[in-house]
Structure formats: structure tokens, C-alpha cells
Amino acid sequence: MSTEEASSMTDTTETHEGEAPQGAISDFGIDTTSRSTSEAIRDYWSSVRGGELGSLPALLGLIVLLIVFSSLSDSFFTLGNLANLLQQGASITIIAMGLVFVLLLGEIDLSAGTASGVTASVMALDLIHGGNLLGGMGDGVFYIFCGWLVLAVGLSLLMRLWTGAVLSGIALVIALLGVPANAWIGMLLAICVGASIGCITGYLVAKIGIPSFVVTLALFLVWSGVVLQFIGQGGTLGLRDDTIFQVANGNIGTAGSWILCVIAVGGYAAVLLNRHFTRLRKGLVAQPTALVLTKIGGLALLAAVATFALTQNRSPSTLVVIAGVPYVVPLVLVLLVIGTFVLDRTSYGRHLYAVGGNKEAARRAGINVEKIRMSVFVIASSAAAIGAIVYSSKVGSVDPNAGGGNTLLMSVGAAVIGGTSLFGGKGRLRDAVIGGAVLAVIANGMGLLKQPSAVVFMVTGLVLLLAASVDALSRRRAATVAR
């Protein structure tokens, strides 16, 4: 046995027999089956002191904001305002969920906001003109649009990104066939157009090698012009379709709301318990059973209280009944579950984290780095399209400023505030949900207090700056402890 091997074995033995390294435990899941709950909690706080903060700062900040605004405004904790909070923050949260995939690679997509405006305007043109995009866009613009879709299909096939090719192809077929106007077809078209935008963006970044900041900044301007071209200076495309309206403004019935609650809690419990007892049977590391049950019980209580509150009549008029969980809640939950499964339980998710952690090491391990880098922009632009559908439903129209303004800043801010690192390799889909909730509470609370937009922007900016500072300091702390 060589000296190096003996030294390595000694170091490994000392690590197992002594205290676990700081930062090695990111949550209660990294624990041995023989440890008690109190020991697991101590390990968790050790990891927090070591710089592994995760979503903890955002959660604490959200609790503080809820306490502050509820004490300053009597209207904050009313049933109507709570439902409005969920609907207000949904579009930004969904866009932020897509951006998490981009941020995990240490990249940025500055065009996500205006890209969402393009998808919304295409959807609106399709619905208003009865599925005749040629008539809505004009000959020249329509043929350029179709050429763009053909290019997206070709580049996706070249990179063997089959999902991007299929979605872009669907958009091309819908455009060329002139399928009669239908809300579901229109929403599908918007998502597929978003995917095609991601294909082009991702190819320029991954294959051509242009920095994502430069590509997406240029496309930010391009898509702003495209939206203006589609809608016209000072124009507005109204969305009067009832199905579109219900996306952001409708509610599930009382019975459906409780069914959603049972499915959500039951599904979470089933996944958590199955994973827990499977690991115990195989002798792998697992959370203490008491903590698993506590998590499930806490979620069940929170979900039951929220469902009970939202199923009460919150209409200010005695002639109209408004009750039930808003449709945007199951929409966000479905996206959260699917995205979390992809990141946590698939080889694609593992490859994505590997590329975000060390691109060169991932390449040497046989991972197709270029394909992974291209794919995250497809996901981000598709999510931006879904966010655009929700926002357009909320306001009932699409105007030349769609996706502009602070849409991108709020979306990136939601992901970062929730705990996703700007440096890559660290983040979860739930970060976007938590961060989106923080921003929605700030905007809503400030509005109830009748604060001007200047104050809202300053407070939001300071919160984002604080989140970025926490991220940088925690990474520095983790690096120091690791040494």
C-alpha cells in the first residue's frame, strides 16, 4: 500500500469518526439511520452555520413581511387579498421557475421577459384573427415567423434536442394550417413558440459560444421590437375568451379545492414515506422518522387551513359568490412537482447540476454539455410562455409593453431571493416559489399602504441586493469551512 493511499484512508477514517464536515449536510436528509432527531437538528444547524442556508433566509423574510404588513394594514389578511396574492404572483413565479434551470448553469436569460411578450402576442393574434396568423401578421412578417420556426426545428435536430424540435414543429404546423381559433390551441401555440425562442437562444450560447449575457441582452431588444411589430404602436390586443380569462381569474369549486388539498398532501406524504422507508430497508442514510412525520403533519395543517380559508365566500357583494382555490395554484403546483422530479430524480437533472458545478469535469465524465446548456433556455422560454398566458389572462389583454418593464427583473429576483445561486450549481424549483411569494407580498403590502411606485421599487431592489449578498457570503463561508 502506498503512502498516499494510507494517508487517504486515515483521512477518511477521521472524517467518519469525528464530526461531519460543515456544509456537507444541506438538509435533514443527509443523516444516518442511527441518529436521533435532536442529533439531526444539530447537524442541520451546523450546516447552516457552515454557509448552507438554502431557502431559510427567504422563508424568514417572508414571515417577517407577513407580520409587518398584517400589523400595518387591516386589509392584508382578508380572504379576498390572500386570493389576490396568489393570482398576482403566479406569472412571475412561473417565469422564475424556468429561469432556475438557466441559473443552475451559472448562465442568465435577460430576454425571458420580452420573449414572454412575443408568445402572448402570437396567442392573442391567433385568437383574434380566428387562427389566421397570415392575416394577423401580414405576408412578410408571417413568412419570417415561419422561417424562424423552421430554423428552430433544424437547430434542435442538429443538437439532437428532440423536445425542442417537436414543440417548434407543432408551432409551425399550427401556423401553416391556420387551425380555427381555440383557446387551448392558442395556449399550446404560445408555449411552442416559447420553446422555439429557447432553441435559437440556446444554440447561440451553447454551440456558437456567445456569452449568454450578450445573446439575451440583444434578444431582449429584438423581442421588444417584435412585440411592437405584432401589436402596433399604441395598440392593444384584447382577450375576451372565457377559457383564457379563467386561467388567472377563475377558482376551483369547494369540493374540488378539498380534493386538491387531499391529493397534494397525500402525494407529498406518499413520496416522502416511500423514499424514507425504502432507504431504511436498504440501510441507506435517511431522515429520522419523527422529522418525516413532522414535515407531513405541518404541510397537512397548512394546506387544510389555507383550503378552508379560500373556500369561504370572499365576494364583497351578497349577490355574487366567489369561493375556492384559484386555478393558478394547481398550475404552479403541477409545474413545481414536474420540475422538482426532473431535477431530483432523473439523469438529466443530475447532469444539469454536474454541468453547473463544474462544466469541464462534466464534459470529461461524458455529459453532452452543449445539449444541456441549450436545453435550459428551451425550458426557460417555455416557462416564460406559460407565465405570459397567466399574466395576459389576469389583465385581459396584450399591449406593446408585454413582458417589458420589470418582468425580467422580478423573475430573476424571485429565483435569487428564494435561494438559487447566481454562480450556478445551487438551486431548487421551490426557491422560485418562495421568492415569488416574497415579491408578491412586498408589492401587495406596499399597495395596501398606498406607497408610491418609487418606494416599492427601492424596497424590492434592497431585498434583492440583500439576497445576493447572503448568497455570496454563504458561498464564501462554505468555502472557508471546507478548507
Check pLDDT > 80 for residue 472: no
Residue 37 placed within a domain: no
Residue 436 confidence (pLDDT) above 60: yes
**Has residue 10 been placed in a domain?**
no
Answer yes or no: is 168 within a domain: yes
Q: pTM here? A: 0.86
Structural domain boundaries, residue 385: 75-250+326-474
Q: What pLDDT score was predicted for residue 80?
A: 85
DSSP 275-300: HHHHHHHTT-----HHHHHHHHHHHH
Each residue's pLDDT tens digit, 252-266: 989 999 999 999 999
Q: Would you tell me how many other CB atoms lie within 10 Å of the CB of residue 399?
A: 21
Q: In the structure grid, which three cell numbers stand for residue 340, read together?
A: 422538482
Query: What CATH number does residue 96 fall under?
Result: 1.10.3470
Q: What is the mean pLDDT of the chain?
A: 84
Confidence of residue 190 (pLDDT cuts 50, 70, 90): very high
Q: Is the pLDDT of residue 26 over 50?
A: no
Question: Which pLDDT does position 464 carry in this prediction?
Answer: 77
In a domain, 51, yes or no: no
> Which ranges of 207-253 does DSSP label H, i.e. alpha helix?
212-231, 242-249
Q: What is the pLDDT, as a whole number, of residue 479?
A: 60
Residue with C-alpha cell 401556423? 175
Q: How far apart are CA 245 and CA 240, in angstroms?
A: 7
Closest CA to 413 of 440, 441, 436: 436
Q: Which residues of 379-392 are buried (b: 16+ CB within 10 A; e: fewer)?
A: bbbbbbbbbbbbbb
Question: What pLDDT sits at residue 120?
Answer: 94
292 has pLDDT over 90: no
Averaged pLDDT for residues 234-250: 88
Q: Where are the alpha helices (DSSP H) in 317-428?
A: 328-345, 347-357, 359-364, 369-395, 407-418
Domain count, the chain: 1
Question: What digits encode the pLDDT tens for the residues 160-189?
Answer: 999 999 999 999 999 999 888 899 999 999
Q: Check residue 402 and give its pLDDT.
A: 83
- The DSSP 8-state label assigned to residue 323 in this structure reads -
What's the one-letter identity of residue 361?
A
Residue 11 lies in a domain: no
Please report whether residue 54 resides in a domain: no
When pLDDT is averaged across residues 86-96 and rounded to a whole number, the result is 90
Indicate whether 291 belongs to any domain: no
Q: Which residues pair with 237 in a beta bridge?
A: 398
Q: What sections of 104-211 are H helices per DSSP?
A: 112-128, 133-137, 139-158, 162-177, 183-203
Measured CA to CA, the distance from residue 394 to residue 117 in angstroms comes to 14
Is there a domain that residue 100 lies in? yes
Question: Coil, strand, or helix at residue 407?
Answer: helix
